[in-house]
Chains A and B, each alone.
Chain A
Amino acid sequence: MMTLLEAAAQLRARKVSSHELVKESLARIGQLNPQLNAFLTVTGDAALAAARKSDEELAAGRDRGPLHGIPVALKDNFYTKGVRTTAGSKLFADFVPEYDSGVTEKLCDAGAVIVGKTGLHELAYGITSNNIHFGTIRNPHNLDCIPGGSSGGSGAAVQSGMVFMAMGSDTGGSIRIPAAYCGTVGLKPTFGRVSRYGMFPLGYSLDHAGPLTRTSRDAVEALNAIAGYDSRDPSCSRRPAETVRLEEPTYVKDLKVGVPENFFFDRVEPGVEQAVRRAIARIGELGAAVIPVKLPDMAAINIAGRLILLAEASAWLEPHHLARRGDISPEVLALLDQGRMVPGTVYVNAQRARRLLAREFASIWKKVDVLFTPTIPIGAPKIGVSTVTLGGVEEDTRVASTKFVRPFNVLGLPALSVPCGMTADNLPVGLQIVGPPFGERKVLTAGAALELN
């Protein structure tokens, strides 16, 4: 399966046209979507027309960059002008935006060809993508397993070769979880690096937008296309947009890799731990310094994140929550009910604790450049399985899936999931690489180094 950068090189060498790439993408969607249910909407005619335009532009010497002419997809919570955008919810089943999201605009400016909208967990509020309104999304590695969520359609679409890149959103791990379960790369950038304008919210202070791709180098190009200040998103960083460039070959000899001594390896499936430990050993063999580090109370960061999300999600959904209960699944309804019970004092105290914990965590970056952790302690669960036993302790699969990823939404740090092996059940394992604020280059460098080696 070609990577985005390989397809971009072939386009420029005139070995393939954008029209051919898009036709192939649409054919693959047609062939695989009945099984995977990765796409909610396919915009075939518009995509073919855009591909023809891309070919004309490239032939005329107007090159918009690596994404020019490349078929991509958007999670169905990014607004697309004139194209239905559901957020995976019956509440918005017929919603057709009058404008594009900031990310949609930037991808179109970069010449990417949007072939459709991918399915997701209802309202992006969950990790299975088992959507009662729009159907179950399945994991391409094993159709009996969940693809993870909430960006499950994007993970399945990229892994199965339907598109080269698909956008996801991540409030408590929703890019990195499907990336790990499906075996793709998933990047949650630093909070504020990518505009959320025109993206359905879930938790205003936790929401991030980012790409799922086949390689870290592809993620670099996607990030370069979508990052940058947008005055329409009040949380967007005013930092000048920095184009990330990785060295060739990737050089990690100066990189200090932190390996947590606490929390992240406490209860992990043996196959996951082995794969992650192998990746840590490999980055050491490549010349990076591997340094054990003691992290602040990650469980406390998770609790702060859960309380903040409960309150923020229930706040924005308040008008729908009480008036249209019948149009919301019992699972999401239970979370919205819980959020309605969180007092204002608790929300404020969780945000106070967040500041304290972020300050404590910042000291880590004086010792290391990046952290390596498992993305998730388990391989993809079977569809319908709601608990997992780890180290003799039964855990809700939602908690197990989010506990290693949610902290970095709370802290707003860049975090990448890259495939690093397979479990005994032949399911992908994700390695999470976390960096300091706006340290995407470091995490992507580490990811790219492991992919090349």
Chain B
Amino acid sequence: MPSPKPSFALREALRSAERNPFMSFLSVAAVAAALAVAGAWMLLQANTQLLLAGFEQRVEVVAYLRTGLAPEAVSATASALAALPGVRSMELVSPDEAARALSRDPELKKYLEVLGRNPLPASVRLRMETEDPARLRILAEQSKALPGVDEVDYGREAVERLLKAFSVVRWLLSAVAGLLGAVALLVVANILKLTAHSRRAELSIMRLVGAPGWFVRLPFLLEGMLQGVLGGLLAAGGLYVLGQALAARALAELQVDLGSFMPQGIDLGFCLRLVGLGLALGFVGGLFAAGRNTRP
């Protein structure tokens, strides 16, 4: 038994999308709002990952050696530190090198001159393979246990606070994005359901003349997907404009180039991901709407 041609089904779907422009606008706006938050989340996620990766590469443990150690003891301690598990590389800084580095600051240079001697100990900078703060702490403790080591500094508090702040912001944005996503899904589904309800007579006639289920459902799916794509484009455009405005303001008022903090910007790939997300959201909304009103 033949069934309707897809071209006819597509024409019917477009005819349906032309109706109820206000409802369609509401639906698109709901999707756009949800996707804008989701997009902000994606941007934050990507940028914090990239920033953290850079930051973590710079994370190092500095072990200050006891003063007065013989050169052999310094080498032995440095080798013992380099052999600790999780150490990627090691750099030995002699007291003279440390003093030269310190002397770059004129104020500190003055102090050194007043002292008349170099009080700085030799130190060993250890670059880590791990980025886990818990592992850093263990490594610091192991370093400190070595006989030639006096003090260990690894910026523990700063690292831990930063990681915690990122995780709280990420968690908050995830929750808001999830909530708004669910709201957008409900709004799209309910608007399409209202459309289906207002067109139930027409849908019943379609079924009575033998239109197959997919044919009756298709307009709802296409309409949902269209609204999703438009919502995605609107969200990407909104985020782009907002991002540009923020960057301009940051540059003008704080002399900060936000671009340098955001390796992941609002590029084509990002826009496509948002539009794809909108498409999926609209499709699911359309499926919900097509449910009861389109059964034979």
Asked whether A and B interact, the reply is: no
Binding site for B on A (CB under 8 A): none
